[in-house]
């Protein structure tokens, strides 16, 4: 038997960690591969929470997070830091996920060394390079470099084929976020203490209909974030509703949300949740209000309608399937659409029961099999 192939898995943010730990686990279980994990710590605290619950200890930690760093400064540090790791490890292949600066720089550093790059969650496109910003361009850069494109859906596959990516390089696998959600949900079922931190809030809001909120998109900073905050304030004025909002660490989010929502009886502004607690928040929420990409995939797996506070989405499959709806950042639209779901049972059930197009929990296994086929060529 030939020597195991060394695969460098690169990530730096909480969403990347969630979506890649199932891939790392599948690689570890396959004798054809030796995974090496490098984290940039583009997000430090939130990344570490996922590493802890997944039992994942990185082989390399660049620890690059700095307050208020610029995108060009971050990108330069990522490119040189990841390049040093690649020069040391000399991997056969590099895996990146999604659309972060870490993923883009990891792909570019590998390309400079002529190391094949495999892209998990490939082919997502909004068609607007400023929404989401800078993620849309990060994806396009990775897409122009990648050797294998693991597209979560047929829509993302079609986007890549439209960009003239060879058809034999694109594989529809589903999304690894569903693998991760199934894994952590089973862990919570076996050990409820993993998500016990929400028990006090559940007791405080007993009898109320919980709305889960996340918001952090750069393109919403400023007026968009203010519109979202005002919408939440109006939603929380309903006596039958409670809002649980894990507030992102970015000061552009915290300042606006704190000013608008601090002290409201029906709003809990809480610290970012670790992954088990966030999965539990999805489970206890009636509706998710978000500008996140991952929540558009995760919440439908638990039958939760998603209102997306963005003008465009690179996940149109959810909108087409009826699990998600774009509502933008205008206060009146957000409030109207959310109240419709609260007050119209048929509208709620139509979204809650819609088919989730993002996967069946077997994506990591498919990805590793495809990698095995590639090295066997």
List, for residues 70-92, the tens digit of each pLDDT value.
Answer: 999 999 999 999 999 999 999 99
Find the catalytic residue in 218, 330, 369, 374.
Answer: 218
List, for residues 139-162, the tens digit of each pLDDT value.
Answer: 999 999 999 999 999 999 999 999
> Phi, psi (5° rounding) for residue 60?
-140, 135
Which pLDDT value is given to residue 303? 94
Q: Report residue 67's pLDDT band, with 50, 70 and 90 as the boundaries.
A: confident
Cα separations in angstroms, 11 against 44, 326, 371 = 11, 28, 19
Could you count the other beta carbons within 10 Å of the beta carbon of residue 304? 20
Q: Is 121 part of the annotated catalytic residue set?
A: yes
Whether the per-residue pLDDT at 1 is higher than 80: the answer is: no
Across 61-65, 198-202, 312-316, least confident range: 312-316
Whether the per-residue pLDDT at 366 is higher than 90: the answer is: yes
Domain 5-175+360-375 in CATH 3.40.50.2000? The answer is yes
Q: What average pLDDT does this structure show over 346-375? A: 95
Find the catalytic residue in 30, 89, 121, 179.
Answer: 121
Question: Within the chain, which residue ranges are assigned CATH 3.40.50.2000?
Answer: 5-175+360-375, 197-352
List, for residues 28-58, the tens digit of each pLDDT value.
Answer: 999 999 999 999 998 787 789 899 999 999 9
> Alpha carbon 187 to chain centroid distance?
20
Q: Is 216 part of the annotated catalytic residue set?
A: yes
Whether the per-residue pLDDT at 258 is higher than 80: the answer is: yes
Q: Report residue 307's pLDDT band, with 50, 70 and 90 as the boundaries.
A: very high
Q: Is 248 part of the annotated catalytic residue set?
A: yes
Task: Check: CB of residue 267 under 8 Å from CB of residue 278.
Answer: no
Between CA 377 and CA 369 the distance in angstroms is 13
Find the catalytic residue in 48, 216, 226, 330.
Answer: 216
Find the catalytic residue in 16, 30, 89, 135.
Answer: 135
The four Cα atoms 230, 321, 179, 304 give a dihedral, to 10 degrees, of 40
Q: Which helix (H) or strand (E) holds 212?
A: strand 209-214
Taking Cα atoms as reference points, which of 285, 297, 300, 278 lies closest to residue 243?
285
Find the catalytic residue in 119, 248, 280, 310.
Answer: 248
Which pLDDT value is given to residue 249? 81
The two structure tokens encoding residue 213 = 């909120």
Which pLDDT value is given to residue 267? 97
Domain 197-352 in CATH 3.40.50.2000? The answer is yes
Taking Cα atoms as reference points, which of 320, 343, 246, 251 lies closest to residue 288?
246
Task: Check: CB of residue 247 under 8 Å from CB of residue 271.
Answer: yes
> Phi, psi (5° rounding) for residue 331?
-55, -50
Which pLDDT value is given to residue 239? 97
Considering the chain, what percentage of its residues have pLDDT values greater than 90? 85
């Amino acid at each position: 038997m030939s020597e195991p192939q060394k695969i460098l898995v690169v990530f730096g943010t909480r969403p990347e960690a969630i979506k890649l730990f199932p891939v790392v686990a599948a690689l570890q279980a396959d004798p054809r591969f030796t995974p090496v994990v490098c984290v940039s710590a583009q997000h430090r605290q939130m990344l570490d929470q996922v590493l802890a619950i997944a039992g994942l200890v990185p082989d390399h930690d660049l620890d690059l997070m700095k307050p208020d760093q610029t995108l060009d400064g971050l990108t330069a540090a990522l490119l040189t830091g990841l390049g040093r790791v690649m020069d040391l490890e000399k991997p056969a292949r590099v895996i990146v996920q999604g659309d972060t600066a870490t993923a883009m720089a990891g792909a570019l550093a590998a390309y400079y060394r002529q190391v094949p790059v495999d892209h998990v969650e490939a082919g997502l496109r909004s068609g607007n390079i400023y929404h989401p910003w800078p993620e849309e361009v990060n994806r396009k850069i990775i897409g122009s470099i990648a050797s294998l494109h693991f597209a979560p859906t047929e829509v993302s596959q079609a986007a890549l084929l439209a960009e003239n990516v060879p058809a034999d390089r694109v594989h529809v696998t589903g999304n690894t976020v569903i693998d991760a959600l199934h894994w952590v949900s089973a862990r919570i079922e076996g050990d409820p203490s993993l998500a016990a931190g929400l028990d006090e809030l559940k007791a405080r809001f007993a009898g109320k209909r919980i709305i889960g909120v996340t918001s952090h998109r750069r393109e919403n900073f400023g007026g968009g974030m203010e519109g979202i905050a005002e919408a939440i304030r109006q939603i929380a004025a309903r006596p039958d509703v409670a809002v649980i909002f894990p507030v992102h660490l970015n000061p552009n989010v915290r300042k606006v949300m704190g000013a608008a929502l601090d002290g409201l009886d029906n709003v809990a502004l809480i610290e970012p949740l670790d992954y088990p607690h966030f999965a539990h928040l999805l489970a206890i929420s009636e509706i998710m209000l978000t500008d996140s990409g991952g929540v558009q995939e995760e919440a439908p797996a638990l039958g939760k309608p998603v209102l997306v506070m963005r003008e465009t989405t690179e996940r149109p499959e959810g909108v087409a399937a009826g699990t998600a709806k774009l509502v933008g950042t205008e206060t009146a639209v957000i409030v109207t659409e959310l109240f419709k779901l609260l007050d119209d049972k048929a509208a709620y059930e139509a979204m809650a029961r819609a088919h989730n197009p993002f996967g069946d929990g077997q994506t990591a296994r498919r990805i590793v099999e495809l990698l095995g086929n590639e090295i066997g060529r």
